[in-house]
Structure 1
Amino acid sequence: MKFDINFFKTLLPENLQNLEIEYFDEIDSTNSYLLYRKEFSDKILVIADYQTLGRGRFNRKWYSNPSENLMFSIGLKNINVSDLQKFSFITPLSVQEAMEENLNLNLNIKWPNDLIVDNKKVCGILIETQIQNSEKAKVIVGIGINVNQTHFQYEIKDRTTSLKLLLNQEINREILLSKILDLFFKYTNLISVDFETIYQKYKSKCFGIGQKVSVLFGDKIYIGILSDINRNGELELLTENTKLSFNSGEITIIKE
């Protein structure tokens, strides 16, 4: 069943009733649309029922069937450059809390931006920015959630799952998206006021802290204890010889 945009709009809280919204049955990429083709004044939500060129970090293809999942991007303008990194905290936290509060499903945040259950990916996030001037920037937050899809491509099926597979029931996409947006914009209003609370909540949901992990960074693999995710969003790895910091990469738990 196609995403019901009219029903979705009735679910938005009062403070989001004036949110600019665009819906597409099909588009190449909601993030690309906002980055390169769409001008907007302040904030906007773009939803697609299907993406032909959906992408994740490192330009990886995002696989998603039509009319089964959530694929959307939030565009914000005039964000303080000093606050840009904070979106890597509030975005996964908003999705995680919406699922926990409304579906009674406890997901973990896998640094930097994935949401997982039993080491299987449910949600991926891609955050892209464009500097407007020395102080302000445009932020595009792309989110893809496996909601009602039950069959996945061979190359990803062993490391991917969906809400329907986890809960054994169909999930209302319109309600879930409205809950995520409510939390996202509440946290957006807090990033310059009470970031410490956001940071501590994020860390409490993070996967792997205190465990032995491997970090794939570029073409090298580093092994050590994941000691922290710092306030700049960097992973801190304690090796036998030193402490390293990474601003991107892929982590894997090492079971001994």
Structure 2
Amino acid sequence: MKIIKLNATNSTNSFLKELGQDTALENFTIVVTNEQKKGRGQQDSQWVSEPFKNLTFSVFTNEFDLEIRHQKYLNFAISLALFNTLSSHKIPNLSIKWPNDILSANKKICGILIENNIKGPKINSSIIGVGLNVNQERFLDSLNNVSSLKNICNLEFDLDLLLLEIIKNLKKTIHLLLLNEYLKLETDYLNALYKKNIPAMFKDKNGLLFMGKIIGVSKYGSLQLELEDETIKEFGVKEISFL
């Protein structure tokens, strides 16, 4: 394991990708920064983080030899590593909001961005970007559905120790991929999934409102909803949102 600490960078994922173009990266090479100026979330959404208050880091891993058709299990493994770490700190009402946001109650505290390098039918390596709200206390007024560990627990967290705990758990869950423990990963992920089997109102990308309940994740990683007429429909990332 190699940890590279930066005072500031535009994006830790981009930094690792550029580094990998010039040198062979060691498995579990980690880049962590005090200030991320242009953090990215799912599908080019922005991740805003107050400098020196939070964990913004990326991890390179090529430990697994995973077929593309099993890609969802990588997402499960990474999400569970964050979920398990925060569970050990007794963060209340934790859940994973599909595909990989971590919530406390209905407040987002962590976002994950996974970028895979694919060769043939397999994922050759991945860069895992994590933004975890830790000691930040104030957020933009427009971000009314986010929080931090400090706001939730009224405690200051040691960023360095928390990072090492996350990496330790990430190694454990990714090792489950090597052991082909797909059923365990899926069971644990679905047990932690936000609003699973609870009827809720959703909005699709065209603004249409509808009722449904989350029942699972398809073999290709899409979210499965059971609609009011008991039909099952699948949705990709950003195709629907909770109302």
TM-score, length-scaled by structure 1: 0.83
User: What CA RMSD, in Å, does the superposition of the two structures yield over aligned residues?
Assistant: 2.0
Structure 1 moving runs of 4+ over 6 Å: none
Match among 218, 226, 230 for residue 217 of structure 2? 230
SS in 2 for 1:49: strand
Aligned AA (1:32)? S
How far does residue 126 in structure 1 lie from its aligned partner after superposition? 0.9
Q: 2-side partners of 1:118 and 1:231: how far apart?
A: 25
Alpha-carbon shift at residue 44 of structure 1 (Å): 1.3
Q: Hey, what's the Cα distance between the residues in 2 that align with 1:47 and 1:244?
A: 39
Does structure 1 conserve the Cα–Cα contact (< 8 Å) formed by 2:218 and 2:234?
A: no
Shift of 1:143: 0.6
**Secondary structure of the corresponding residue to residue 35 of structure 2:** coil
Quick one: percent identity of the two aligned structures? 27
Secondary structure of 2:228's counterpart equals coil
Displacement of 1:138 after TM fit? 2.2
Contact 2:117 2:123 in 1 (8 A): no
- The 3 A distance-change label for structure 1 pair 41 and 34 is same
Which runs of 5 or more structure 1 residues have no equivalent in the other structure?
Answer: 1-18
For residue 55 of structure 1, report the CA deviation from its aligned partner. Answer: 1.2
**Which is worse superposed, 106-115 or 132-141?**
132-141
Following TM superposition, by how much is the alpha carbon of 1:201 offset from its aligned partner in structure 2, in angstroms?
1.1
CA, structure 1 residues 34+133, in 2 after alignment: closer, same or farther (shift >3 Å)?
farther
- State how far apart, in whole Å, the 2-side matches of 1:93 and 1:149 are: 23
1:19-67 deviations in Å (ceiling 9; x for gaps): 1221111000011122344341433111111100011112111111111
SS at match of 1:64: coil
2:14 pairs, out of 8, 11, 32, with 32
Which has the higher mean CA deviation after the structures are superposed, 160-169 or 192-201?
Answer: 192-201
The 8 Å contact of residues 80 and 173 in structure 2, kept in 1 or not, is answered as no
Asked if residue 161 in structure 1 is aligned to residue 147 in structure 2, the reply is: yes
Unpaired runs of 5+ residues, structure 2, are none
For the 8 Å contact 2:211–2:228, the answer to whether it is kept is yes
With normalisation by structure 2, the TM-score equals: 0.87
Q: For residue 184 of structure 2, what is the aligned residue in structure 1?
A: 197
1:94-135 CA distance string (max 9 Å, x none): 11111111x211311111111112211100111111213443
**Aligned pairs, how many?**
233
Q: C-alpha offsets along residues 202-251 of structure 1, whole Å, 9 cap, x if unaligned?
A: 11111111122344454354623224222533211112343111231343
1:48 aligned residue: 33
